[in-house]
Each structure stands twice: as structure tokens, then as C-alpha cells.
Amino acid sequence: MMNTLKDLCLLDGVSGNEGKIAEYIVNKIAPYAECYIDPLGNVIAHKKGTSSAKKRVLFDAHMDEVGLIITGIKDDGMLTFSCIGGINTEVLLAKRVKIGDVYGVICVKPIHMLSGDEKKKVPDKEGLLIDIGASSKADAEQYIEIGDTAVFDSDYVEFGDNKIKAKAIDDRLGCAILIDIIKSYLPFDAWFSFTVQEEVGLRGAKTAAFSVEPDYAIAIEATTACDIIDTPENKSVCKLNEGAVVSFMDGSTLYEKALFNSTINTANNIGKKIQVKRGTSGGNNAGAIHLTKSGVRTVSLSIPCRYLHSPECVIDKRDIESVKDIAVALFEQMADDKI
């Protein structure tokens, strides 16, 4: 699974441009499950288990990542851009990006030429420019078209004590877990959606869940861990190496209490670490899925991830197994109607 995660993180798939991710996933899962791509670009898969399921369960992970989109080319060859998904400006300054195979850098005025106040101020995001080295607009147009998407140039690194750094761990880790589940033995039939456009408003999950019509859904995500220096305990939200994260509420969903309790009990029964997300920030595909048709009983299970929506997502390898094992154990009860 670690190789799959690495491959997936290194592929580029900003919201609305997830084709490469979908292709990779289809190649990986086709031997194990029936799958198709829906009109929005979601990969929907159905895997036969040993028995048919009493209740239909959907595993969901989103394929898209936050990134940039080129909005214009200036006379001097510099590119203007907008962000796709929520990105704070301070993680962009002097960072390297890739627009297809072309490298670019997000320029800053030299610190030497700034006044005292400006030196500690984040520049206006609207004024930021990407330099690909072009000498003029016509020169830049040989390499770039308006509407091209750009990703952070960030490699996959294992460091420290079991830590992984990469871009797009949100939510390629979810995709990697789903692929792993599809490849494994399953006692019941299961459905899977690898969705597009989560970062721009949970759009892919809406249509995927409509097609699958599940009774239950498990959204597998990466969620904000803020267990970092200078952040007080009560603002850490969740912690690395403390296991899977289960949410009681976030910006898009108030999770069903009974299901929330079952998730924690399941984790305890199988001896896997679980933690409750201590905060209600963010939102994920559960928000779209649980409102589908007449309603879907939905759980959100996440890996704790530091520095979300930056080039530098950081997770702890040891949390991956918790997320996967709890998700599978929960699925078995859901499919067997034993919740």
C-alpha cells in the first residue's frame, strides 16, 4: 500500500483535472472489481464478496487535490493564478509549482526592498505571479494555456519516526486505503467511490452516492491535525500516532450518534487506536453523501494529517492501519445489518 500511496501522491490531480488519478485507480482495481467512470469523472466500483450484503455500504475517498489554476499571462511572461480549494497565501510564497512538465516559482519582491511593515506582511494573493522563465507573453504561450492547472512541486519523503511528507495526502491516502480494501478478501459485496471535486464543494460525492444508493457510507479522509509546537492541547484537533479520527460534527455533517458510538466500540473491539476529532472545522464528502436521496447513514473516518492544503502534508504511517482496519470492521457489521 505504501507504494500505491507514493504513486498517487506524486500524480497531479487538481479538482476538475483528476483524469490521471482515475486512470491509475482503474488500472489497479480492474482485476478485482467491476468499475466505471461516471459523467463527472468519479470512479465507481463494485466488488463481489463471499455473500451478498444485507445492506449496501459505500466506501468513499476523493481523488482531487488543492492546487492552482492559471488565469492569465502578462506581457513580461509572468502568469497570474487563482487557488483551487482553500490555500493560505503564506504557504505559496517562493514555492515551486509544476504546470504539467514545466516548473514555475511563485515570486516575491526581494526582502531588501521592503519597508519594515511589509517585511512581516503576507502579500496580497491576487498580486502573486508565477515565473516559468518566459521572456514575454508570446514566449510563455508556447508552454502554457490559460486554464492549465498547477500543483505544488513536493516529493514523497519518509522522515523522523514513521512520518511521511508529500503533497495531496488529502485524500490520496483515502484512495490508497480503498484500493487496498478492494484487493483484499471481503465477506460481503461492497461499493466504492473515488470522487472528483471534493475540494470545491463535495461535488463528485453527490452524484456518486446518487448512483450507488447506499444504506451506509464510510468517508475515508485526511483531517487537520494541529498537534504542533505552540498550539495548545485544546486546539490540536487530533494527533499523529493516536489512531483513526472519528468526527461527531463538522461544517457539513452532524454525524449520527449511534453510528459514532458503534465506530468507537468497533475500534475498541478489534484493538485499534481511535480518537475523536476535537473540533468541528472543515467538512468532507460525508456532507454530500448523507443527504443523498432519502438519506444515508454516514461515518467519517480520517487519518490525522498536519499541514493540510499545503505542499507539505505530514502523516504517521502507524495511523494508516487503524483507519483501514476500523473501516473494514465497521463495513462488515453494516453490510450484515448488525449495527
Partner 1 sequence: MELKEMLIKLADADGVTGLDGALNVAEKELSPLGKVSRDNMGGLAAEIKGKKDYTILLDAHIDEIGMMVTAIDDGFIRVAKCGGVDVRTLISQEVIIHGKENIFGVFCSIPPHLKNESNSLPDIDEMGIDIGLSKDEAEKVISIGDRVSFRQKAVSLVNDRITGKSLDNRAGCAAVIESAKLLCADGEAPCNIIVSLSAQEELGLRGAKTATYNYFPDEAIVVDVSFGAFQGIPSQKTGKLSKGPMICISPITDRFMTNSLIDICDEENIPYQREVCGSSTGTNADTISVTKSGVKTALVSIPLLNMHTAAETISMSDVENTAKLIADYVRKAVK
Residues that bind partner 1 (CB under 8 A): 76, 78, 86-91, 93-96, 102-113, 119-123, 125, 127, 129, 131-135, 139, 142-143, 154, 157, 159-163, 165, 224, 226, 228-231, 235, 237, 279, 281-282, 306-312, 314
Comparing CB distances to partner 1, the nearer of 113 and 185 is: 113
Burial class of residue 55 in the structure, from the number of CB atoms within 10 Å of its CB (0-12 exposed, 13-18 middle, 19+ buried)? middle
Tell me the DSSP string of 47-85: E--SB--SS-EEEEEE--B-EEEEEEE-TTS-EEEEEES
User: Which residue in the list 18, 65, 198, 332 is annotated as catalytic?
Assistant: 198
Please, are residues 97 and 254 in contact by the beta-carbon 8 Å criterion? no
β partners of residue 69: 82, 149
The values of phi and psi at residue 301, to 5°, are -120, 125
Comparing CB distances to partner 1, the nearer of 39 and 110 is: 110
Question: What CA–CA distances, in Å, run from 172 to 14, 36, 194, 222, 294?
Answer: 12, 19, 10, 9, 29
The three three-digit cell numbers of residue 58, written as one number: 459505500
Tell me the DSSP string of 2-15: HHHHHHHHHS--BT
CB of residue 56 to partner 1, shortest distance in Å: 31
CB of residue 230 to partner 1, shortest distance in Å: 6
Comparing CB distances to partner 1, the nearer of 165 and 297 is: 165
CB of residue 319 to partner 1, shortest distance in Å: 13
| Residue tagged 494541529 (cell numbers) | 226
CB of residue 297 to partner 1, shortest distance in Å: 25
Q: State the CB neighbour count (10 A cutoff) for residue 48.
A: 13
CB of residue 301 to partner 1, shortest distance in Å: 17
The Cα 285–Cα 148 span in angstroms is: 26
The Cα 295–Cα 203 span in angstroms is: 16
Side-chain-side CA neighbours of 145 within 13 Å: the count stands at 3
CB of residue 69 to partner 1, shortest distance in Å: 17
The values of phi and psi at residue 232, to 5°, are -65, 150
Comparing CB distances to partner 1, the nearer of 290 and 306 is: 306
The Cα 179–Cα 322 span in angstroms is: 16
Comparing CB distances to partner 1, the nearer of 172 and 297 is: 172
The Cα 172–Cα 168 span in angstroms is: 6
199 catalytic residue (yes or no): no
Active site residues: 198
